[in-house]
Structure 1
């Protein structure tokens, strides 16, 4: 049977584990799945700028992947969820595309982008969830 290992990001992940009883990432063999990451800091504060919130979410993805021995270079699939996507989708898509080019310059992972009415925190406007495959 394949080993299953869960990971909790220090700071905000510790708080989420205590409050909502969930982990930030799981590694099953060569596959890493992470919970959706928002653009928060460890105190669950969010920046005013939507662009900065999206960039911070990418940084939190990186931080969480690293716990499981992965990085953006291993990412094969991205789901992103956006509050207000219908209002400014061109800007959001451009920011996301620019960040993909920065964080995954060697590959273009598949991406599903969804507009939603709300996310898990009332101040969240973006959540990014990824799947990564580690090399043999």
Structure 2
């Protein structure tokens, strides 16, 4: 029988759990899936600069992983969602640069698979990025 553990991020995660009834992470044995993480602070505020929002989203992924005993070096798959303006057909090199910098900073040499998707809307007004990951605890290379 599998062991299932749900994780809720302290702060904004507790607020969203109470309001919307979902968890930030689930661990089934050694496999971890997290819900998409925005670049918000604990009061659900977004920074003005896109780069800061991306970095904060990476921080919140780390927080979600930690609720179930995982960390960035355990990550094997990343999905990132990026709001694109009407008429735009690319996400942009500035976004890719920041994403790649954060991967290098946090993944300890691991290069997970990554799917990057442009979207017209995300969960909160003003959001420009959302990141979700899959991890296998103890699989660090």
TM-score range, shorter chain: over 0.9
Gaps in structure 2 of 5+ consecutive residues: none
Partner of 1:51: 51
Q: Deviations over 1:82-102 (max 9, x none)?
A: 002746511111110111011
Which of 115, 118, 133 is matched with 2:118 structurally?
115
Partner of 1:101: 104
Partner of 1:3: 3
The structure richer in helix per residue is 1
Equivalent runs, 1:1-136 vs 2, <5 Å: 1-84=1-84, 86=89, 89-135=92-138
Q: Which runs of 4+ in 1 moved over 2 A?
A: 85-88
Gaps in structure 1 of 5+ consecutive residues: none
Find the aligned partners of 1:130 and 1:11 in 2 and give their Cα distance. 20
Aligned residues: 136
TM-score after normalising by structure 1: 0.95
* Superposed displacement of residue 64, structure 1: 1.1
RMSD over aligned Cα atoms: 1.3
Q: 1:27 to 1:88 in 2, by over 3 A?
A: closer
